[in-house]
Amino acid sequence: MLRYFVLLLAIGSVIHPSHGTEVMVKGEDDKLCLYAKLMVNFSVLYEAADNKSNSVQFELPTNVTLDGSKCEANSSTLKLNFGAGHSWSMNFTVKGNVYQADSITFSYNLNDSTVFPKSASNETVSVTVRPHITDVSMDTCYSCNSKETIEDESVNQTLWNVLIQAFVSNGTQSENMTTCAADLPIPSPTAPNTTTEAPVTNATTPSPFPPTTPTPILPTPATGKYTLKPDTNSTACLMANFGLRVGIKQGEKYEEINLDPNVTTVSGSCGSNSSELVLVSNTMTVTFVFANDTKKFRLQAMNVTAKLSSGEVFSDGNSSLSLWEASVGSSYMCNKEQNYTITSQLIAFTFNLQVQPFGVKKDVFSTAEECQTDSESFLVAVVVGVALLVLILIVLLAYFIGRKRNMASGYESF
Ligand SMILES: *[C@@H]1O[C@H](CO)[C@@H](O)[C@H](O)[C@H]1NC(C)=O
Ligand SMILES: *[C@@H]1O[C@H](CO)[C@@H](O)[C@H](O)[C@H]1NC(C)=O
Ligand SMILES: *[C@@H]1O[C@H](CO)[C@@H](O)[C@H](O)[C@H]1NC(C)=O
Ligand SMILES: *[C@@H]1O[C@H](CO)[C@@H](O)[C@H](O)[C@H]1NC(C)=O
Ligand SMILES: *[C@@H]1O[C@H](CO)[C@@H](O)[C@H](O)[C@H]1NC(C)=O
Ligand SMILES: *[C@@H]1O[C@H](CO)[C@@H](O)[C@H](O)[C@H]1NC(C)=O
Ligand SMILES: *[C@@H]1O[C@H](CO)[C@@H](O)[C@H](O)[C@H]1NC(C)=O
Ligand SMILES: *[C@@H]1O[C@H](CO)[C@@H](O)[C@H](O)[C@H]1NC(C)=O
Ligand SMILES: *[C@@H]1O[C@H](CO)[C@@H](O)[C@H](O)[C@H]1NC(C)=O
Ligand SMILES: *[C@@H]1O[C@H](CO)[C@@H](O)[C@H](O)[C@H]1NC(C)=O
Ligand SMILES: *[C@@H]1O[C@H](CO)[C@@H](O)[C@H](O)[C@H]1NC(C)=O
Ligand SMILES: *[C@@H]1O[C@H](CO)[C@@H](O)[C@H](O)[C@H]1NC(C)=O
């Protein structure tokens, strides 16, 4: 329900943006193949006749022509021509089940004295930049109301209120959106506590990330069973079962990745004061360091190196955590989905968690110490049970009182 509501709001806000340039490119079959509505501001630095550098700001006008725009099966071009010989074009390509904008080429004619007064040059200059419009699902519109400024040596372009669909199928614009990360309600996370304090933190750190996002929701990660043995013939010294998802925030972008246990290899080391678990999958490497503080253990450090969808490699970690705390000789358990803010860029989500980094005996978990929320739900069950019992008692009592009254009135009527 909520998701539909959000979608409606999103559409509503696109139908009434103040202004913007709206165009529809049609293919050879005369059907819509590319739709775009957007606003662009240009800031251009150019050399004036008096050897000074001038800068001008102007908007992409609403009055444009589409000569040079074209749609093909796997690539298309949106070309907006305006004014006296200026143009702005965007190239799109299909990458599997997503498409992206590969480049923006802005050509401006310095001979146009209405835009570039006293220009020393009369040439047409072209700049090509790379926009951050990637991973747009096929058959969806890319929507980004937030401003994105793309800087180049002498040209800054600011794009906002962008709604674009390339590779439109069947001539009908999609109602589904791929929303840019900047539009998602992600407040900037609070910096993690870097001071090494006594390990008395609550297991559930409130997350600065939003509770819901309209991005495609990943399936719950499968629960992996990871065991570490000091050597091949001995029993496990460390056991960890959990499903893991990491959320990575980089600038305006936020991305979530699940750890796939099927392709994950386990390594690490067991010590008496510190144990390490290293999980390596095709998409990420996660390192957990557990500390034995005499009577209690805790997750002290977590590092993640992950390959992002953009191809970039992300790496971050925190070595002063106090999570998953329990007595040495027992295990820590938290079945409910949990999220932990590891760093300002990294959030970890766990599912069906049970870990024992020290004192594992006979390849099985020792008694579990449950996390707060798990025991809270138990408490809720108890409270509900007690409330029901009280209700039953009240009903019974009411019944007996009622019967007594009836009997009494029965006697009176005689
Ligand atoms: C502009 O600079 C060039 C050399 O950089 C110089 O020869 C010319 O006289 C200058 N013109 C003016 C108007 O200052
Ligand atoms: C775009 O340019 C116009 C005119 O130069 C200016 O009024 C407006 O504030 C600019 N908008 C942004 C978002 O920069
Ligand atoms: C451009 O300027 C050069 C000299 O600066 C001049 O020779 C040429 O005719 C001009 N071209 C146009 C199209 O105005
Ligand atoms: C582009 O933006 C940067 C940073 O805001 C600024 O330093 C630069 O002067 C701008 N360039 C132009 C051509 O406006
Ligand atoms: C939007 O997406 C949903 C689910 O992915 C799909 O059922 C529906 O047909 C899509 N609508 C359009 C207009 O593409
Ligand atoms: C745990 O959190 C609760 C409520 O958020 C707070 O009252 C309590 O002091 C916290 N305990 C510790 C050990 O931080
Ligand atoms: C993190 O957990 C808290 C408490 O369980 C929850 O309110 C919040 O929505 C979660 N945040 C995310 C991003 O899942
Ligand atoms: C492991 O056990 C096998 C047979 O039980 C034995 O042959 C082998 O040497 C042992 N390896 C180690 C490292 O102890
Ligand atoms: C992992 O492997 C199990 C069995 O080997 C299979 O049932 C499951 O679907 C696989 N999960 C994924 C995500 O590939
Ligand atoms: C935990 O540390 C204490 C003191 O450093 C040590 O006595 C104990 O054996 C350790 N526990 C395990 C399971 O290694
Ligand atoms: C573990 O810690 C105890 C006390 O903190 C120290 O005495 C002992 O040497 C440490 N053991 C190892 C293997 O580091
Ligand atoms: C984890 O990351 C921190 C900070 O980025 C670094 O200091 C530490 O050495 C890393 N630890 C491991 C085990 O990679």
Asked if residue 365 is part of any domain, the answer here is yes
Lowest mean pLDDT among 83-87, 100-104, 110-114, 252-256: 252-256
Pair (100, 241) in one structural domain: no
Statement: residue 188 has pLDDT above 60:
no
- Choosing from 175, 178, 179, 217 the residue with most ligand 5 atoms within 8 A of its CB, the one to mutate for a pocket test is 175
Q: Are residues 167 and 257 in the same domain?
A: no
What is the CA(160)–ligand 9 centre distance, in A? 42
pLDDT of residue 20: 87
Q: Which ligand is nearest to the CA of 319?
A: 12
Q: How confident is the model at residue 158 (pLDDT cuts 50, 70, 90)?
A: very high
* Domain region containing 134: 3-180
pLDDT above 70 (res 317)? yes
**Confidence check: pLDDT of 249 > 80:** yes
State residue 411's pLDDT score: 55
Global pTM exceeds 0.75:
no
Whose tokens are 């008692």? That residue is 393
Quick check: CB of 122 below 6 Å from ligand 3? yes
Q: Is 247 inside any structural domain? A: yes
Task: Please state the rounded mean pLDDT for residues 260-268.
Answer: 93
Mutate to test the pocket of ligand 4, among 156, 157, 159 (most ligand atoms within 8 A of CB): 156
Residue 99 lies in a domain: yes
- Cα–ligand 2 centroid distance for 158 (angstroms): 9
Residue 379, pLDDT > 50, answer yes
Percent pLDDT > 70 in the chain is: 84
Question: Does position 241 have pLDDT exceeding 50, yes or no?
Answer: yes
Q: Model confidence at 183, in pLDDT bands (50, 70, 90)?
A: confident
In a domain, 193, yes or no: no
| Cα–Cα distance, 309 to 38 (Å, whole number) | 25
Tell me whether residue 151 is in a domain: yes
The reply to whether 143 and 259 lie within a common domain is: no
Residue with more model confidence, 403 or 276: 276
Q: For position 6, what pLDDT does the model report?
A: 33
User: Picking from 107-111, 223-227, 367-371, 373-377, which range would have the lowest pLDDT averaged per residue?
Assistant: 373-377
339 pocket-lining for ligand 7 (C-beta < 6 Å): yes
Domain shared by 12 and 130, yes or no: yes
For the chain, give the number of residues.
Answer: 414
Same domain, 33 and 96: yes
Q: What is the 3-state secondary structure (H, E, C) of the chain?
A: CHHHHHHHHHHHHHHCCCCCEEEEEECCCCCEEEEEEEEEEEEEEEEECCCCEEEEEEECCCCCECCCCEECCCEEEEEEEECCCEEEEEEEEEECCEEEEEEEEEEEECCCCCCCCCECCCCEEEEEECCCCCCEECCCEEEECCCEEEECCCEEEEEEEEEEEECCCCCCCCCCEEECHHHCCCCCCCCCCCCCCCCCCCCCCCCCCCCCCCCCCCCCCCCEEEEECCCCCCCCCEEEEEEEEEEEEECCEEEEEECCHHHCEEEEECCCCEEEEEEECCCEEEEEEEEEECCEEEEEEEEEEEECCCCCEEEEEECCCCEEEEEECEEEEECCCEEEECCCCEEEEEEEEEEECCCCECCECCCEEECHHHHHHHHHHHHHHHHHHHHHHHHHHHHHHHHHHHHHHHHHHC
- CATH code of the domain containing 159: 2.40.160.110
Q: Whose CA is nearest to atom 8 of ligand 11?
A: 273
Do 322 and 228 reside in the same domain of the chain? yes
Do 228 and 157 reside in the same domain of the chain?
A: no
Question: Residue whose CA is closest, atom 14 of ligand 9?
Answer: 262
CB atoms closer than 10 angstroms to residue 335:
17
Q: Is residue 26 part of a domain?
A: yes
State residue 232's pLDDT score: 82
142 and 90 fall within a common domain: yes
Number of domains composing the chain: 2
Q: Could you tell me whether strands 284-293 and 313-318 are parallel, antiparallel, or unpaired per DSSP bridges?
A: unpaired
What pLDDT is stored for residue 2 in this prediction?
38
Q: Is the CB of 274 under 6 A from ligand 7?
A: no
Atom 4 in ligand 6: residue holding the nearest Cα: 202
**Nearest Cα to 334, choosing from 355, 348, 361?**
355
Shared-domain flag, residues 339 and 265:
yes
In this prediction, residues 32-42 reach a mean pLDDT of: 95
Instruction: Specify if 33 maps to a domain.
Output: yes
More confident residue, 46 or 410: 46
pLDDT at residue 226, as a whole number: 96
- Residue 403: pLDDT band (50, 70, 90) is confident
106 strand-pairing partners: 88, 127
Neighbouring residues of 73: CB distance < 8 A, sequence distance ≥ 6: 94
Compute the distance from residue 136 Cα to the ligand 11 centre, in Å.
Answer: 53
Q: Which atom of ligand 12 is nearest to the CA of 316?
A: 5
Residue with tokens 């019944």: 399
Q: What is the average pLDDT across 224-233?
A: 90
pLDDT above 90: residue 333: yes
Q: Judge if 173 and 228 occupy the same domain.
A: no
If one compares 77 and 3, the residue with the highest pLDDT of the two is 77
Ligand 3 neighbour 202 (Cβ under 6 A): no
Residue 208 lies in a domain: no
Q: How far is the CA of 389 from the centre of ligand 5 (A)?
A: 48
Q: What CA–CA distance (Å, rounded) separates 164 from 80?
A: 14
Mean model confidence pLDDT for the chain: 84
With contact defined as beta carbons under 8 Å apart, do 118 and 49 qualify? yes
Letter string b/e over residues 68-77, b meaning 16 or more CB atoms within 10 A of that residue's CB: ebebeeeebb
User: Are 283 and 306 spatial neighbours (Cβ–Cβ below 8 Å)?
Assistant: yes
Question: What pLDDT, in 10s, does the model give residues 10-25?
Answer: 333 333 345 789 999 9
Q: If you average pLDDT over residues 100-116, what whole number do you get? A: 94
> How remote is the CA of residue 8 from the centroid of ligand 2, in Å?
28
Rounded Cα distance between 399 and 408, Å, is 14
Per-residue model confidence (pLDDT) at position 78: 96
pLDDT higher than threshold 90 for residue 123: yes
Smallest CA separation from ligand 8 atom 7, residue: 233
Report residue 304's pLDDT band, with 50, 70 and 90 as the boundaries.
very high
* Same domain (yes/no): 244, 333: yes
> Does the pLDDT at position 70 exceed 50?
yes
From ligand 8's centre to the CA of 15, what distance in Å?
72
**Are residues 135 and 34 part of one domain?**
yes
- The residues that bridge with 353 in the sheet, in sequence order, are 334
